[in-house]
Amino acid sequence: MSSPDHVARIQEEWRRERPDLDPSPQGVIGRLHLVAGLLTDELVAVYAQHGLTEGDFDVLATLRRAGAPYERTPGELAEHTMVTSGGMSKRIDRLEGAGLVSRRASSTDGRGRVVALTPDGLERIDAAVTAHLANERRLVDELSPADARALERILTGWLGRLGG
């Protein structure tokens, strides 16, 4: 029997080799994994068109979503991006070197620092997020509107049950 895709072929092989096991969950998990990889490739390509990595985009977008004056502490950035503080320091260093963010002492915490978008950073993230959202629309439009709504509902519920 010919397999419609890689995941189905793996499932067939497990059914043949281990008929005592149920490989049906691989149909969901395996395909989600493959879709996630393909989506990441599509998203990263748009970030690169704006001279950004996925991590750069994440930090700049988090600052932009904060609203004017587009600043957060490094700890807030790490919390909103799920990146460790050490990893965040490297990202901030790179973005500061590119002139997209600045760092200054906090006005409320003498030992604290605040990271803010520069005018160039604001211009870059506004252009990048415009292209990013158009790209996400293009990708989601591969589904019917009803399927997109159903998938969002299903994934939201599943993510909540998994603790995400």
Model confidence pLDDT, tens digit, residues 17-71? 999 999 999 999 999 999 999 999 999 999 999 999 999 999 999 999 999 999 9
The whole-number pLDDT of residue 83 equals: 76
Co-location of 70 and 42 in the same domain: no
pLDDT at 3 over 70: no
Co-location of 44 and 74 in the same domain: no
Bridge partners (DSSP) listed for residue 104: 114
Mean pLDDT for all residues in the chain:
92
Co-location of 73 and 140 in the same domain: yes
pLDDT at 11 over 60: yes
Co-location of 84 and 11 in the same domain: no
Co-location of 80 and 145 in the same domain: yes
Co-location of 44 and 115 in the same domain: no
The whole-number pLDDT of residue 85 equals: 76
Number of domains in the chain: 2
Element (H, E) at 159: helix 145-162
**Highest mean pLDDT pick, 70-74, 102-106, 141-145:** 141-145
pTM for this entry: 0.86
Q: Hey, what amino acid is at 60?
A: L
The whole-number pLDDT of residue 2 equals: 41
The whole-number pLDDT of residue 10 equals: 96
Co-location of 2 and 76 in the same domain: no
Q: What percentage of the chain has pLDDT greater than the value 90?
A: 79
Q: Which domain holds residue 21?
A: 1-49
Q: What is the CATH number of the domain that holds 61?
A: 1.10.10.10
The whole-number pLDDT of residue 72 equals: 94
Co-location of 9 and 28 in the same domain: yes
Sheet holding 101-105, edge to edge: 71-72, 113-117, 101-105
The per-residue pLDDT for range 127-138, each reduced to its tens digit, is 999 999 999 999
Co-location of 6 and 57 in the same domain: no
Element (H, E) at 31: helix 25-49
